[in-house]
Structure 1
């Protein structure tokens, strides 16, 4: 039996584990990253800590099996990360301290986080990340998680949301239009951006 709820502090290890097992463009990242925590520090932990009210996890008898994690105001979230999340990680992981290229790329994001353009944020200020363990994929849970996050953001008065998808993530590229997202024109060789109106 599965349960969908807001994350609790004891869910963080499970959230990090899901982030890793889906961390190689939707497939298992544990074969790519030597340090299993780095990817979660970037794409999962700060969301669950800062905005649990806009986050939902799905749990079953095996533990946390997936999540959706959202930030209602991307620039405000980035400012919080800059003051509260990144400083300790930057001290712990100086540039050049990682053992592999893949880990080094994540550590670099501690020091120079990715930024979406102001043009996107003007209409779509929120963003999210969603991941499901393979054991729970194909059951409609991704659609349910997205729906819960979007409903929570709407109730908070958020008018639009964006997300960025690696162009190699074929599953993600197929999934987001099916749940109401619009694919935007890609700029250069960056990620593919999807958007959705919430008002």
Structure 2
């Protein structure tokens, strides 16, 4: 039976693999960008680097990671760190594109655009999460369990609420968040943001 445990540094490669395998609106995004490392560098590895204590791993019977939840307790501070310290490490590998006509260019440009979130924007829901499960970890309530682990850790820090953004092309995620207690807090043409009060 699967189980949940805290993140370990040696899990990083497995989390990058899971991120990539679920990044196409829940499906496998392998090969969709010019470099498969871009998506994990945006959406999972910076979180476990800055907040390893806010990362929880869903493991199979043999302790193989099959899902995760990662997050930050302060999105504004995290984005500032991402823009100033994390993404600039990749400047030589992925320079700012001259045009944004490809998905790869768009994702790289997104990395460069981060770092300017205001604290006021996140006053009610200052924390942020990313959760991904491989198919073998889905459909048995483990997503709810992972949310519970992170929510408990954030409550211990006195965090008022946590948010999660999803693509409107991901019906599974759009259905998941309301089912586990999140409310719709923002929406645009492409994405939906959900929030869970913690106080």
TM-score of the pair, normalised by structure 1: 0.91
Cross-structure match for 1:103: 104
Structure-2 separation of matches of 1:24 and 1:114:
24
Structure-2 separation of matches of 1:26 and 1:115:
28
Shift of 1:105: 1.8
Cross-structure match for 1:77: 78
Structure-2 separation of matches of 1:2 and 1:160:
28
User: In angstroms, what is the RMSD of aligned CA positions?
Assistant: 2.1
Cross-structure match for 2:4: 4
Residue 146 of structure 1: SS of its match in structure 2? helix
The answer as to 2:18 corresponding to 1:37 is no
Shift of 1:119: 5.5
Shift of 1:5: 1.4
Cross-structure match for 2:165: 164
Would you say the 8 A contact 1:120–1:162 is kept in 2? no
Shift of 1:156: 0.9
CA gap 1:97/1:104 in 2 versus in 1, 3 angstroms: same
Residue 30 of structure 2: SS of its match in structure 1? helix
Structure-1 separation of matches of 2:109 and 2:31:
20
Cross-structure match for 1:142: 143
Would you say the 8 A contact 2:166–2:192 is kept in 1? yes
Residue 93 of structure 1: SS of its match in structure 2? coil
Structure-1 separation of matches of 2:83 and 2:118:
18
* Structure 1: stretches of 5+ with no match in the other structure: none
CA gap 1:115/1:134 in 2 versus in 1, 3 angstroms: farther
Shift of 1:2: 2.3
CA gap 1:63/1:101 in 2 versus in 1, 3 angstroms: farther
Structure-2 separation of matches of 1:96 and 1:41:
17
Tell me the matched-pair count: 197
Structure-1 separation of matches of 2:67 and 2:196:
22
Residue 84 of structure 2: SS of its match in structure 1? helix
* Structure 2: stretches of 5+ with no match in the other structure: none
Residue 30 of structure 1: SS of its match in structure 2? coil
